Chain A
Amino acid sequence: MAMFKAGDIELEIDEDGFIQEPDKWTEGIATALAVTEGVDDLTDRHWKLVRYLREYYLKFGVAPMIRKLCKDTGFKLNEVYEMFPTGPAKGACKVAGLPKPTGCV
């Protein structure tokens, strides 16, 4: 499995670049993961979204519905795509260290 390096931290990532040990996530890793998504600068708006995803994940163990994410953060879906061009599931969840949702989705 490929490894992802951020500073002195090294983490396993899957084929899509999602980290395999979400518990080892740090804000430094988020910044480095964002670069892989073409987001070189995480603004306050980015962080608001990332921290929301992180908190939801720690509470529920999965990613939230996109509708819930939008309602709770106040961001419209197109704004999420502006911040994370690959979208909420692939881009924002990856940066927040969440696993990729699988199944009938």
Chain B
Amino acid sequence: MAGAHKFDQVEYYKPEDLLALDYRPPETGWMDTPVDFRPGTWIYPGKPKHLEYLDLANPRQWAPTDENWKLPENWKEIVLAGIKERLEKYRSFKIFMDICVRCGACADKCHFYIGGGDPKNMPVLRAELLRSVYRNDFTTAGKILGRLAGGRELTVPVIKEWFYYFFQCTECRRCSVFCPYGIDTAEITMMARELLNLLGLNVNWVIEPVANCFKTGNHLGIQPHGLKDTLTFFADDIEEVTGIRVDIPMNKKGADFLFVTPSGDFLADPGTYTCMGYMMLFHELGLNYTWSTYASEGGNFGLFTSHEMIKRLNSKIYAEARRLGVKWIMGGECGHMWRVLHQYMDTMNGPADFLEVPTSPITGTRFEHARSTKMIHIVEFTADLIKHGKLKLDPSQNDLLKVTFHDSCNPARAMGILEEPRYVLRNVCNHFNEMPENTIREKTFCCGGGAGLGTDENMEMRLRGGLPRGNAVRHVQQRHGVNRLTAMCAIDRATLTTVCDYWAPGVKVAGIHELVANALVMKGQKERTINLRLEPINEVEEQPICEVEE
């Protein structure tokens, strides 16, 4: 695969090389096959300054390719004590360690295994990397029979293997859908990463955002005046498109609701267009809402670090809601954020008894399912508006777009928000086609870049992991001329752009509220001739979409 390009560049990888998949296992048994840190398949370690800032263990310079990882002297003791503590603290962890019968239902469900062929990316075997140590040191059979009972001793090569493979899991939980026991593989990965963190083993693509979030309120390190500057820039572009100047309420005390979205929406295209969509919708409805410069991050890379870190980062949202005196909270189009908000926030940082059950000021709908968290997803809010006929929409404004929808792993599998985005899309565009059944809804395929894996030095794994999704996109591109993949997740919008450019070139990525805002007929707007990307809405795009197969 060598050439003029480096391993962190897409051009370095030839599709025919990546597609030459060999699913045959290696000659040696899995316990005797050491990990190979080849470039393009692992992520740079967390920089010591970020570990120090967060009071994390063992900050130092090191590289996975080093022989000596500079582990603490008593590293083994630390890890075994860490496992013991977590087995006692988390009942789910104990159960997931015990109940797997190695039936293999999950084996071919992982995007990394499908696109890579490494047997240790079968979820069952990836979990076995940790489970084998559990058996050896925490079960009677393992203590007596060792390897015969599937146990193995915890050694430095085992730790290296954990680092490699638990950062080749995006915690997407597709495998869990197929597990007859419902083992949550993401939780196993989370536990393994917690244990690795006890030794100072983590990746910079996770730890730097976590440190930034702690310092400035968001993963990207955007400061209050920077956020204001960014939203003002969006308002300028919105005015160019619509002739309307939208408000930018920030840190507004007494607003009805606080709005929180992933900070990727403030920096990276195409998420920025989605952010403009939120602003236009709220303005058009005259909502009394506010942005926050303190809780300026919906995402939570603590989820990819430890439970303690999830809690530390998440605490800002309720704290800010309380400080501003809002009634409830709304969240934007983020993916993993919804696992945290839906499943951890209430018990970690709640109860939010100072807030009210979210109620739409436009339709009067009470979102009873959010009774405990007091936080709803913008797409359910918008779906409710459309259902009640409260939005004037002209779907023909999106007529150049042939749309499909990628269910983001966490909104789909962690909160079950499957119908609302489709309902909204069908109302804001005229051309919508689903990808194959086995690749959407609960069975959706990951983008390959979630859980802190979406960095360029990990490009080979991103392209491999993105193959199943890219293949499904390619299918609807050829069949229906699809040229726009929509998704409700900032990591998706960033990494699926690369996946589509590679596996389904010609398809671009967008958030749902970008399309909503394009179709939204605003009071007093000028005639719309350009969309939020400042592209003409009625002309043929410069590049032909693709060859349509009949």
Contacts and interface: CB of A to CB of B under 8 A. Distances in A.
A56 B136 CA distance: 55
Interface in A65-90: 65-68, 71, 86, 90
A interface, size bucket: 20 to 34
Given A61-B221, A104-B494, A16 B269 contact: no
A102 B226 contact: no
Contacts of B233: 65, 67-68, 71
Interface stretch (B97-105, B160-168, B205-213, B348-356): B205-213
A60 B225 contact: yes
A74 to B, nearest CB: 15
Contacts of B191: none
Contacts, number: 85
B267 A105 contact: yes
Interface string A28-68: 00000000000000000000000000000001111101111
A1 interface: yes
Given A67-B272, A102-B208, A14 B44 contact: yes
A60 B299 contact: no
A102 B230 contact: no
30 contacts: A15-B44, A15-B457, A16-B8, A16-B457, A20-B47, A60-B222, A60-B223, A60-B225, A60-B229, A61-B221, A62-B223, A62-B226, A65-B268, A65-B269, A65-B272, A67-B237, A68-B230, A101-B220, A102-B204, A102-B205, A102-B219, A103-B212, A103-B299, A104-B264, A104-B271, A104-B489, A104-B491, A104-B493, A104-B494, A105-B494
A101 B229 contact: no
Given A15-B457, A104-B219, A104-B262, 17 more contacts: A59-B225, A60-B226, A61-B221, A62-B223, A62-B226, A65-B268, A65-B269, A66-B269, A86-B9, A102-B205, A102-B208, A102-B219, A103-B209, A103-B264, A103-B267, A104-B271, A105-B494
B4 to A, nearest CB: 10
Interface of B: 8-9, 44, 47, 61, 63, 204-205, 208-209, 212, 216, 218-223, 225-226, 229-230, 233, 237, 262-264, 266-269, 271-272, 299, 301, 334, 454-457, 489-491, 493-494
B271 A67 contact: no
Interface of A: 1, 14-16, 20, 59-63, 65-68, 71, 86, 90, 101-105
A16 to B, nearest CB: 7
A104 B272 contact: no
Contacts of B263: 103-104
B226 A104 contact: no
A104 B44 contact: no
B299 A61 contact: no
A61 B223 contact: yes
A12 B273 CA distance: 36
